[in-house]
Amino acid sequence: QLQASGGGLVQTGGSLRLSCSAPGLTFDDYAIGWFRQAPGKEREPVSCISTDDGGTYYTNSVKGRFTISSDNAKSTVSLQMTYLKPEDTAIYYCAAESGYQSTWYCQNGWRLNKKWGRGSQVTVSS
């Protein structure tokens, strides 16, 4: 299971950087994504990256504000979040699946994930 860290409390317009660690996992041909779940809402995809070609996907609400990146050598994926809004408040999770590309994984594949690791709380105050 992947573990997310780096969340916290920030004001509107602030920034946070989330990290996803995958000890022992070799990032060959993986799609790795960030997903979030706000109170009372369903989990939703935020951003995904393909480790083989670096292809990325962003949901519309975070385009231009969030940046996903991977360090294959360290088996980590980061999500740099800027210009945060109160509606970004949620628990953020990371997950991965081999053999998928980022777009398909974020749009469909993530729903097959049966185990979710520890998430990281992001709270944006207005």
| pLDDT tens-place string over residues 69-89 | 999 888 899 999 999 999 999
User: How many C-alpha atoms does 34 have within 13 Å on its Cβ side?
Assistant: 35
Q: What's the confidence (pLDDT) of residue 31?
A: 94
Region 56-73 average pLDDT: 96
Q: What pLDDT digit, counting tens, does each position of 3-40 carry? A: 899 999 999 999 999 999 988 888 888 999 999 999 99
Mean per-residue pLDDT, 53-75: 95
Spell out a b/e string for 65-96, using b for 16 or more CB atoms within 10 Å of the CB, else e.
ebebebeeeebbbbbebeebeeebbbbbbbbb
The predicted structure's pLDDT at residue 97:
92
Residue closest to 16 by CA, chosen among 40, 46, 57: 46
